[in-house]
């Protein structure tokens, strides 16, 4: 893996590239007032970074879960493999996996081509990814072929993460390398993207449709490469013809003129309003490319409404391109704002009349979705540490009072997350009988609020997460002794 520090993208002021600082400031303030959980952004114009920021405790060097923004990178791998003559977008999908074909092959399945995987027009009526993940033997490719293909391929758009997995599997089949390894010398190293990681299936194949972990600047570099039609520092990294094909309208996906999810779909890229395009991932991971304005916007976040942030981009940032320069005061205020971005820790009391009674007590949990067996909270003058015992071992979460306390845990992992992940926590007594913890999984979109209700020998623990593919709320009951 690449570990050296990559050359920085050039930095300059918004005005130097024809953008009003006052509008960028307005965008940032609107994000904070209306969205609340943006983690980072980087705005490029004419190849230079004109504004960037990370809301503390999120940091510049933290990789972030990309979710479906991974798909655009998988598409790029396919384009490179096509350019190397390893496959064609018109190859039948079944031709790569004859051993996984069902006993009876329908006409629609036989007609499915690589281009249908790329354009999410495989003919399926339901996303194939859930049954693939649920297959007991872990053979995701075989599971894909077992899902009925009800429509003629190319005639029906369905967002289908399983289709992108099949693209990843095809690249691995024809190159002998996982997509993450195949892209290393062809994309990641030339762009200066260090230490990209990609989750794998039980078959040892990069998941493709999700699972990529990279930094905000890496998203920006990828978007700039596409804006430059595949050229990077004098080299043609990705064929220009592939860039054009992948980002063009390939299939209709709706008719709502106000929705950025109904402007057409390319090869793992969404068409946007105003003639732009993007790769995006669940909960607000964005790579927005604006060719008409020679601009790129990279975003990481934890949002439940992704259209909302795009509306702010179109309503505030687009009109600011080639606007009248801002005053020196506006430029100064933007600089100060970007330097002080933060998401505050939880505020509240550092003690309660019952602190001494509950601190250090062992609470035994009833059966619960997290498989927690016992819980032991410990309160000190500087913060709170909670120890969870599960069937897999012991986990701890530490919270500071009025400050973020860093740690690691796996007990709050969401679907697809494996092993301990970096967290920061803060806590406070929000009532005499309730201690509240705010826990941010800072390399992910996820933020947990845990409310600990103590009543006599009983403990009710209420969980709430900001965004999720499943329920947003859950609870468990535990008893002292």
Q: Both 364 and 451 in a single domain?
A: yes
* 425-to-32, 101, 315, 343 alpha-carbon distances in Å: 20, 49, 35, 12
Q: Both 362 and 439 in a single domain?
A: yes
pLDDT tens sequence across 72-92: 999 999 999 999 999 999 999
Number of domains within the chain? 2
For range 29-33, the mean pLDDT: 96
Q: Would you say residue 4 has pLDDT above 50? A: no
Q: Both 367 and 405 in a single domain?
A: yes
Q: Would you say residue 372 has pLDDT above 70? A: yes
pTM for the model: 0.96
Residue 363 belongs to domain with CATH number: 2.40.128.20
Q: For residue 374, is it within any domain?
A: yes
Q: For residue 95, is it within any domain?
A: no
pLDDT tens sequence across 316-357: 999 999 878 778 888 999 999 999 999 999 999 999 999 999
Of the residues 339, 374, 390, the one at which a domain ends: 339
Q: Given pLDDT bands bounded at 50, 70 and 90, which one contains residue 36?
A: confident
For range 178-207, the mean pLDDT: 97
Q: Given pLDDT bands bounded at 50, 70 and 90, which one contains residue 419?
A: confident
Q: Both 257 and 222 in a single domain?
A: yes
Q: For residue 94, is it within any domain?
A: no
Residue 314 belongs to domain with CATH number: 3.40.710.10
Stretch among 209-213, 238-242, 316-320, 368-372 having the lowest mean pLDDT: 368-372
Report the alpha-carbon distance of residue 338 to residue 52 in Å, rounded. Answer: 7
Q: For residue 178, is it within any domain?
A: no
Q: Given pLDDT bands bounded at 50, 70 and 90, which one contains residue 413?
A: confident
Q: For residue 137, is it within any domain?
A: no
Nearest CA to 450 out of 458, 442, 459, 343 is that of 459
Per-residue model confidence (pLDDT) at position 391 = 83
Of the residues 339, 363, 397, the one at which a domain ends: 339
Of the residues 307, 339, 371, the one at which a domain ends: 339
Q: Which residue intervals of 62-211 are DSSP H helices?
A: 70-83, 107-111, 114-118, 129-134, 140-146, 161-175, 179-183, 189-191
Per-residue model confidence (pLDDT) at position 415 = 67
Taking a C-beta distance cutoff of 8 angstroms, is the pair 441, 449 a contact? no
Q: Both 366 and 394 in a single domain?
A: yes
Return the higher-pLDDT residue of 102 and 481.
102
Taking a C-beta distance cutoff of 8 angstroms, is the pair 116, 123 a contact? yes
Q: For residue 273, is it within any domain?
A: yes
Q: Given pLDDT bands bounded at 50, 70 and 90, which one contains residue 1?
A: very low
Q: Both 230 and 310 in a single domain?
A: yes
Three-state secondary structure call for residue 194: coil
Q: Both 361 and 452 in a single domain?
A: yes
Q: Both 272 and 312 in a single domain?
A: yes
Q: Given pLDDT bands bounded at 50, 70 and 90, which one contains residue 6?
A: low
Per-residue model confidence (pLDDT) at position 322 = 80
Nearest CA to 251 out of 366, 124, 391, 119 is that of 119
For range 24-53, the mean pLDDT: 96
For range 453-480, the mean pLDDT: 95
The rounded percent of the chain whose pLDDT value lies above 70 is 98
Joined together, the tokens standing for residue 359 give 């601190």
Exposed/middle/buried for 390, CB within 10 Å: 0-12, 13-18, 19+? middle
Return the higher-pLDDT residue of 481 and 387.
387
Q: Would you say residue 129 has pLDDT above 90? A: yes
Report the alpha-carbon distance of residue 396 to residue 166 in Å, rounded. Answer: 38
Q: Both 237 and 299 in a single domain?
A: yes
**423 backbone φψ class: left, alpha, beta (φ>0; ψ -120 to 50):** beta
Q: Both 265 and 364 in a single domain?
A: no
Domain that holds residue 463: 355-480
Q: For residue 209, is it within any domain?
A: no
Q: Both 377 and 329 in a single domain?
A: no
Q: For residue 475, is it within any domain?
A: yes
Report the alpha-carbon distance of residue 31 to residue 51 in Å, rounded. Answer: 14
pLDDT tens sequence across 224-283: 999 999 999 999 999 999 999 999 999 999 999 999 999 999 999 999 999 999 999 999
Taking a C-beta distance cutoff of 8 angstroms, is the pair 412, 441 a contact? yes
Taking a C-beta distance cutoff of 8 angstroms, is the pair 281, 416 a contact? no
Query: Which residues, including other chains, have CB under 8 Å from residue 266's CB and lie 6 or more apart?
Result: 119, 245, 246, 247, 248, 249, 250, 277
Q: Both 442 and 389 in a single domain?
A: yes
């Amino acid at each position: 893996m690449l570990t050296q520090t990559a050359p920085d993208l050039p930095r300059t002021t918004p005005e130097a590239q024809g953008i009003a600082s006052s509008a960028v400031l307005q965008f940032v303030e609107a994000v904070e007032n209306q969205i609340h959980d943006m983690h980072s952004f980087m705005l490029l114009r004419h190849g230079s970074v004109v504004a960037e920021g990370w809301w503390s405790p999120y940091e510049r060097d933290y990789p972030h879960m990309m979710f479906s923004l991974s798909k655009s990178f998988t598409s790029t791998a396919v384009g490179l493999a096509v350019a190397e003559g390893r496959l064609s977008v018109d190859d039948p999908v079944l031709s790569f996996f004859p051993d996984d074909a069902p006993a009876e092959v329908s006409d629609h399945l036989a007609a499915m081509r690589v281009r249908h995987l790329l354009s999410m027009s495989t003919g399926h009526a339901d996303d194939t990814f859930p049954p693939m993940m649920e297959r007991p033997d872990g053979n995701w490719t075989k599971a894909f072929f077992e899902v009925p293909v009800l429509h003629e391929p190319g005639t029906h758009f369905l967002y289908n993460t399983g289709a992108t997995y099949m693209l990843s599997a095809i690249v691995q089949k024809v190159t002998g390398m996982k997509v993450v390894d195949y892209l290393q010398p062809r994309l990641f190293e030339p762009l200066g993207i260090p230490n990209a990681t990609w989750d794998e299936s039980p078959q040892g194949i990069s998941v493709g449709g999700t699972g990529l972990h990279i930094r905000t600047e890496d998203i920006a570099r990828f978007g700039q490469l596409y804006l430059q039609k595949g050229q990077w520092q004098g080299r043609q990294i990705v064929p220009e013809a592939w860039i054009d094909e992948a980002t063009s309208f390939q299939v209709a996906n709706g008719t709502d003129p106000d929705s950025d999810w109904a402007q057409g779909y390319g090869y793992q890229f969404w068409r946007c309003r105003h003639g732009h395009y993007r790769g995006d991932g669940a909960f607000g991971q964005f790579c927005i490319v604006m060719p008409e304005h020679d601009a790129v916007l990279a975003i990481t976040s934890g949002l439940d409404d992704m259209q909302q942030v795009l509306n702010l981009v179109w309503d505030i940032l687009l009109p600011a391109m080639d606007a009248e320069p801002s005053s020196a005061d506006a430029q100064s205020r933007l600089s100060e704002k970007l330097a002080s971005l933060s998401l505050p820790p939880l505020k509240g009391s550092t003690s309660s009349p019952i602190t001494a009674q509950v601190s250090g007590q062992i609470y035994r949990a009833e059966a619960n979705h997290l498989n927690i067996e016992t819980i032991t909270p410990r309160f000190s003058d500087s913060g709170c540490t909670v120890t969870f015992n599960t069937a897999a071992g012991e986990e701890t979460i530490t919270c500071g009072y009025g400050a973020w306390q860093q740690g690691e845990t796996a007990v709050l992992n969401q679907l697809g997350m494996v092993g301990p992940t970096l967290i920061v926590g803060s806590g406070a007594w929000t009532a005499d009988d309730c201690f509240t913890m705010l826990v941010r999984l800072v390399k992910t979109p996820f933020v947990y609020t845990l409310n600990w209700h103590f009543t006599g020998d009983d403990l009710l623990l209420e969980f709430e997460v900001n965004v999720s593919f499943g329920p947003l709320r859950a609870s468990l009951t535990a008893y002292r002794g």
